[in-house]
A and B are shown apart, each in its own frame.
Chain A
Amino acid sequence: MTGDSARPAVETRGISKAFGGVAALDAVDFEVRWSEVHALVGENGAGKTTLCNILAGIYRADAGQVIVDGTERDFRSPAHAIDAGIGMVHQHFRLVEPMTVAENIHLGWPETPGVVSQRTLNERTEQFMGEMGLRVDPTAKIWQLSVGEQQRVEILRVLARGARVLILDEPTAVLTAKEAEDLFAVVRELAAGGLSVIFITHKLREVLAVSDRLTVLRHGIREITRPTEGATASEIARLMTGEERVLNVEHRVVTGDPALELRGVSALNDRGITALHDVDLTVRSGEILGIAGVSGNGQTELAEVICALRGLESGAITVDGADITSMSVRAVTDIGVGHIPEDRIGMGMVLSAPVKDNAVLHSYWTEQFSQGLNLNRQSVIDFAKKLVETARVQTRSVFATAGQLSGGNQQRLVARREALAADRLLVAAHPTRGLDVNAAQEVRSTILDKRDSGCAVLLISDDLDEVLLMSDRIAVIYEGRIMGVFDAADADREHIGLLMGGHSITEAA
């Protein structure tokens, strides 16, 4: 069923794509052969998903060619891509939960018979699963399945539509270790059957375990394509993270009493799975502790437990020696903890409310604004005007809704607001994500000013360059565990890259 094995299954030549003037991909050449598992590797924002979205017809490239099995193609929709045999399984599944596996596979499939019984659907599904060597109970409802099984249904759905090139976007992000092992076996088998699989990941162990060849993207540029055989984790890590060196930030070694201390902290994520395992951390006044790690390894939960937005399973948290483990959000804010949340828009602002109301979201109850029941309108407006000015937020007036601000201005507003609220500790989660260079610099200097004024800063970022640039000390987090803590002076990029990918210190050495 596959094409001429001498021709590549899919090839791109000089693909470029920009979003809002920021280049996501810059003249990328990429090639996937038949019967191979090709790992597409890179940090967050390296352009992996963008490249695959172009292959799958979700985005159109600004420049460059997509060649499928020898024919140049111009996909205008995912339907065009699937007609050409390219199908993508997204990180977030697109299944109809109350319907059965068989129904989901047949939904919107041109080959589904017009009049059909439940039994025929199940039989057809059984037969197709047999051909593919992938099994799920066809009569089960989607919500009854585990995440790994749901993913299998997604893969079957894509294969049923004739995909010969299967793109898996960070497929293991949602899986348990056992489920991931099963997936690797499935992927290997599909490739052995003649299909091509593009496997997007940033976990080095997976690259080595599953792929035949690998391509590393970094800041939208292809760094290398090579056979996996003979590649080492440290080499890939170095290519992923680059060799950039840091300018203009003086790193310090701070001694003295800790401002923030975590002792044996464990916590669950929203799905009830342990996201933090026995975490010990210390941040001193006047220093930035950077948390390096790939997104989804417990960083969100870490920020939330410190700011009292998430309960602990065990352990204790102190700020300036005072136990805040069971304090309310407000009490924690009142002792001087500011929080630039990861999800600025979903959590840090109210888009339908005016800028002035957003300006005081984390302080409206303080004496500066509230006397008893009365919320002093004039002082809120004055404060908001000052905040907008110092944070250089571009808005018509403080009465405009926050939703009218551009993304960068929303971020500046939240960052400055939280920096003002933070007297003792600032928790900054991915503070420059999605910002252009200038806005990112402004947010960074806000954070550095905070440090210089004696505030403790916990900086969480999945951009290793940023962590290395800003931090006085660096802690690496992987699957909810702290893998190691380093002074900035001793920090070795390659070593940290390995730890971020789950290789322990002994393995790395």
Chain B
Amino acid sequence: MTPLASIASAVLSVTPWRLERRLEVDAKRAALTRIGGAVGAMVVVGILLLLTGRNAFLIFWQALDAIFGRQRGIEGVALRGIPILMTALGVALSLRMKVWNIGSDGQFLMGALAAVGVGIHMDGPGWLVLILMAAAATLAGAAWILVPALARAYWDVNEIITTLLLNFVALQLVTWSALGFWRDKEAAVIQSTREVPFTLPGLPGANSVTIALLVPLAIAAVLWWVFRSTSIGYEIDIIGGNPRAAGFAGIAVRRRILIVMLFTGAIAGLGGMLQLSAPGAQAMNAGFSAQFGLSGFIVAALAGAAFWGVIGGGLFIASMFYAGIVLQTKGLSVYIIFAIYGVILTGIALGEIAARYRVVRRDSADESGTAAGQAASAPQGAGS
């Protein structure tokens, strides 16, 4: 059971109903229930706004208009989307193997920090420095997950705790660099590192979005292909499904875990470089990552580790955040906006549960939990 389903099932345990796993997860139904969850959440949000005396219809209109009504809105969503997509893709890759990389925030920060180091210290043609920055960021992201990956692969140390805690270490390193060794001494106002003098080329027709947007799309395409058509993707899915069966099939499980975890870190690290090479964001300070890793994690978990779902879900969350910022400027309190985020994410999560489980009345025969009870419940579920 997923953590979400466990919570739902605990809530239901005081009622006459219970959750029953569907034998089959139908992709179309899964998409419908997720969208249904989001729409249902919007309705709840609308009712709450109406109850507090606000014009819900105007607010929704303002939000949609802010995003889709002008190019600035669409570009704003894309800019916010890039770091979320990169961390989400890394996490989604690890989830295919049932490894929980909670540390993509740290890997993201270390990637950006490495990119700053290269960018402010290297002279040369811009394209070369940018490529070196990307390489350094990729390596730094992988290096930041190296110890958790080794510990998980070879000593079965739980990766959730190790990767999570390294986030805080990364944050302190960034703060130290911004306040100390790479501090920008000319700009006295904001404590930040010096600025990298290079940016990625813009997308044709865009004002602020660079070719960085293409990177997560390309990575999603590659990952999709790997898991559809290669033996590597097959092996990772087998390890995720049943590590003992993977060992039985002669797959070097531990080495695969190590390598895949390094890749998840590398993707998040590259995300840090992409963020840093956008115009106007070329220096690092303590607020460099607005917990992109956390958002990415939510996206990956909700998308069920399907890579195109990650792209769709990441852009959805990015537009939600963008709309939230716009609504703040229109006078909606930040607390209400956070509450709206929460309701919408909960709605999608419930949609996710609905895709995998259905609610049935508990009858006395099944409650004993005996073998007979399990056998009786098996043939159900196909009907719906």
Interface positions of A (Cβ within 8 A of B) = 19-20, 58-59, 76-77, 309, 328-330, 333, 339, 341, 346-353, 357, 361-362, 364-365, 369-370, 373-375, 377, 400-401, 403-404
Contacts and interface: CB of A to CB of B under 8 A. Distances in A.
Nearest to A331: B250
Contact of B245 (A348, A400, A403): A348
A349 B242 contact: yes
A341 B244 CA distance: 11
B24 A400 contact: yes
A19 B372 contact: yes
B247 A329 contact: yes
A357 B242 contact: no
A374 B244 contact: no
B384 to A, nearest CB: 15
Contacts of B247: 309, 329
B15 interface: no
Interface in B240-269: 240-242, 244-245, 247-250
Chain A CB within 10 A, most for which of B228, B233, B244, B249: B249
B21 to A, nearest CB: 10
Nearest to A360: B234
B329 interface: no
Nearest to A357: B234
Given A20-B375, A329-B248, 4 more contacts: A59-B370, A330-B250, A349-B245, A374-B229
B231 A375 contact: yes
Nearest to B244: A347
B249 A329 contact: yes
Contacts of A364: 231, 234, 249
A339 B247 CA distance: 13
A329 B250 contact: yes
Interface in B350-384: 368, 370-372, 375
A373 B229 CA distance: 8
Instruction: Kindly state the interface size class of chain B when it binds its partner.
Output: 20 to 34
B23 interface: yes
Main secondary structure of the interface of A (DSSP, over half): loop
Given A328-B250, A346-B244, A400-B24, A19 B231 contact: no
B232 interface: yes
B41 interface: no
Contacts of B237: 350, 353, 357
Interface string B255-289: 00000000000000000000000000000000000
A433 B139 CA distance: 51
Interface of B: 23-24, 228-234, 237-238, 240-242, 244-245, 247-250, 368, 370-372, 375
A375 B24 CA distance: 25
A373 B244 contact: no
Contacts, number: 78
A339 B245 CA distance: 12
Contacts of A19: 371-372, 375
A377 B245 contact: no
Contacts of B248: 309, 329, 339, 341, 347-348, 361-362
17 contacts: A58-B370, A59-B371, A309-B247, A333-B250, A341-B248, A346-B244, A347-B245, A349-B242, A350-B237, A350-B238, A352-B241, A353-B238, A361-B245, A364-B231, A373-B231, A375-B233, A403-B23
B230 A373 contact: yes
B238 A357 contact: yes
Contacts of A365: 231, 250
Contacts of A346: 242, 244-245
B200 to A, nearest CB: 30
Contacts of A328: 250
Given A353-B237, A374-B230, A375-B234, A404 B24 contact: yes
Contacts of A401: 24
A375 B225 CA distance: 11
Contacts of B24: 400-401, 404
Chain B CB within 10 A, most for which of A76, A346, A347: A347
Given A77-B368, A350-B238, A404-B24, A361 B249 contact: yes
A16 to B, nearest CB: 14
A351 B250 CA distance: 18
A348 B249 CA distance: 8
A377 B228 contact: yes
Chain A CB within 10 A, most for which of B230, B237, B241: B241
Contacts of B229: 374-375, 377
Contacts of A58: 370
A58 B368 CA distance: 9
Contacts of B371: 19, 59
Contacts of A357: 234, 237-238
A364 B235 CA distance: 10
B157 to A, nearest CB: 19
A284 B23 CA distance: 44
A365 B241 CA distance: 18
A350 B241 contact: yes
Contacts of B244: 346-347
Contact of B249 (A362, A369, A370, A377): A362
Nearest to A404: B23
A59 B372 CA distance: 9
Contacts of B238: 350, 353, 357, 361
B239 to A, nearest CB: 9
6 cross-chain pairs, A with B, having the tightest CB-CB distances, nearest first: A329-B250, A330-B250, A350-B241, A352-B241, A350-B242, A375-B231
Contacts of B242: 346, 349-352
Contacts of A373: 230-232
Contacts of B249: 329, 361-362, 364
A370 B244 CA distance: 22
B245 to A, nearest CB: 5
B323 to A, nearest CB: 36
A354 to B, nearest CB: 10
A404 B99 CA distance: 25
A39 B229 CA distance: 58
Contact of B231 (A330, A339, A370, A403): A370
Contact of A375 (B230, B240, B250): B230
B378 to A, nearest CB: 8
A20 B378 CA distance: 12
Nearest to B234: A375
B380 to A, nearest CB: 13
A361 to B, nearest CB: 5
B54 to A, nearest CB: 45
Contacts of B23: 403-404
A391 B245 CA distance: 21
A329 to B, nearest CB: 3
B363 to A, nearest CB: 15
